[in-house]
Amino acid sequence: MSRIAYVNGRYVAHGEAQIHIEDRGYQFADGIYEVAAIFRGQIIDEDGHLERMKRSLGELRMDMPMPEEPFRLVCRETLRRNRVRDGIIYIQVSRGVSPRDHPFPKDVKPALVMTARAVAWPENADDDKGAEVATVADIRWLRRDVKSISLLPNILAKQEAREKSAYEAWFVDGDGFVTEGSSTNAWIVDDQGRIVTRQLDNNILGGITRATVLKLARENSIEIIERAFTVEEALAAPEAFLTSTTSFIKGIVGIDGAEVGDGKPGPVTRRLRALYLDYCRGSGSNLA
Ligand code: PMP
């Protein structure tokens, strides 16, 4: 089936979709993005993604490319034209097209691109074999709370991890504390079964999956501590895991080649993964 992309007001064949060479996203990474999961025809946490998108745009002093209602319709139409019932939608907004010059151009409309593709999501909580992570220095800018398309440190980190046969990279700050993964939030479980994840500030992206996992934990009387933890603490913890829109919840079974817990996703991780999959099955915004 041919894929369709939405590009600045038009639905075009994915392979022929084009943007201008002076799009500021292309030249300056002057833009933001969102990725939402579609699970059995539901957009998971649609409102959360939209809110974060508006926040990212606001922090870069950019406007929504169109009002919220038509925007939601374009998301649905992009998914419908690509027949995605399980998969992802990628949304990118740049400041627009203008002759290359650093200051914001005047009277330029933001540029909007959406793509969608099918992904086969996991079926149940027990199919997670767990992932290895490799630690890397966090060399990013200090506005990691903005979901900017400027991802160079993230891709370098992910590549380094993959070259070490690890699934994800964990960024570590100058004091030895884990900030987050290159495209995931980082968690541990302490020896009292409490889940620990770094507090929200400009050092990490406020993951939508992170927020949902915290909500599910609260509803299920799992204690939460929002604070930074070190790599040593994670290595000594009974469990560690990661969260993101596309990884859901995944156990971390090794850090830099050393085993975490008993080398398998632990009970708290598995429970949260089951709760999250139930949440995906039962909620979200209907595409119909
Ligand atoms: N941190 C970073 C740096 C990310 O790129 C992502 C993925 N967008 C996340 C965390 C997880 O966020 P979410 O749960 O919204 O996918």
Note the pLDDT tens digit of each residue in 122-172.
Answer: 888 788 999 999 999 999 999 999 999 999 999 999 999 999 999 999 999
Cα atoms found within 13 Å of the Cα of residue 213, Cβ hemisphere only: 33
DSSP letter at 237? S
Q: What is the pLDDT of residue 283?
A: 67
The ranges of the chain annotated as CATH 3.20.10.10 are 125-282
CA trace torsion 158, 58, 244, 214 (10° rounding): 140
**pLDDT mean over 9-36:** 98
**Fold assignment, 125-282:** D-amino Acid Aminotransferase; Chain A, domain 2 (3.20.10)
**pLDDT mean over 259-270:** 97
pLDDT band with cut points at 50, 70 and 90 for residue 68: very high
Q: Is 207 in the pocket of ligand 1 (CB under 6 A)?
A: yes
Measured in degrees and rounded to the nearest 5, phi and psi for residue 179 equal -90, -65
Query: SS3 for 127?
Result: helix
pLDDT band with cut points at 50, 70 and 90 for residue 27: very high
Question: Is residue 147 annotated as part of the catalytic site, yes or no?
Answer: yes
Residue-wise pLDDT tens digits, 194-253 = 999 999 999 999 999 999 999 999 999 999 999 999 999 999 999 999 999 999 999 999
Residue 49 confidence (pLDDT) above 60: yes
**pLDDT mean over 94-118:** 97
Ligand 1 centroid to 29 CA: how many Å?
18
Q: Which atom of ligand 1 is nearest to the CA of 48?
A: 15
Taking CA atoms only, the protein residue closest to ligand 1 atom 9 is 184
> What mean pLDDT is reported for the chain?
96
**pLDDT mean over 18-47:** 97
The ranges of the chain annotated as CATH 3.30.470.10 are 4-118
Q: What is the pLDDT of residue 115?
A: 98
Q: What is the pLDDT of residue 210?
A: 98
**pLDDT mean over 35-46:** 97
Q: What is the pLDDT of residue 256?
A: 98
Q: What is the pLDDT of residue 287?
A: 54
Q: Which two tokens stand for residue 105?
A: 């151009």
Q: What angle (nearest 5°) sits at the alpha carbon of residue 202, between those of residues 198 and 205?
A: 65
Residue 285 confidence (pLDDT) above 60: no
Ligand 1 centroid to 182 CA: how many Å?
8
Q: What is the pLDDT of residue 288?
A: 45
Of 35, 180, 185, the residue with max ligand 1 atoms within 8 A of its CB, to mutate for a pocket test, comes to 185
Single out the catalytic residue among 106, 129, 147, 250. 147
Per cent of the chain over pLDDT 70 is: 98
Ligand 1 centroid to 209 CA: how many Å?
8
Q: Is 8 in the pocket of ligand 1 (CB under 6 A)?
A: no
Taking CA atoms only, the protein residue closest to ligand 1 atom 4 is 183
Q: Find, among 146, 144, 166, the residue nearest to 157 by Cα.
A: 166
Q: Is 205 in the pocket of ligand 1 (CB under 6 A)?
A: yes
Q: Which two tokens stand for residue 148?
A: 């900017």
Q: Is 185 in the pocket of ligand 1 (CB under 6 A)?
A: yes
Q: Which two tokens stand for residue 86?
A: 């399980």
Q: Which CATH number fits domain 4-118: 3.20.20.210, 3.60.20.10, 3.30.470.10, 2.130.10.10?
A: 3.30.470.10
Residue 95 confidence (pLDDT) above 90: yes
Q: Is 42 exposed, middle or buried (0-12, 13-18, 19+ CB in 10 A)?
A: buried
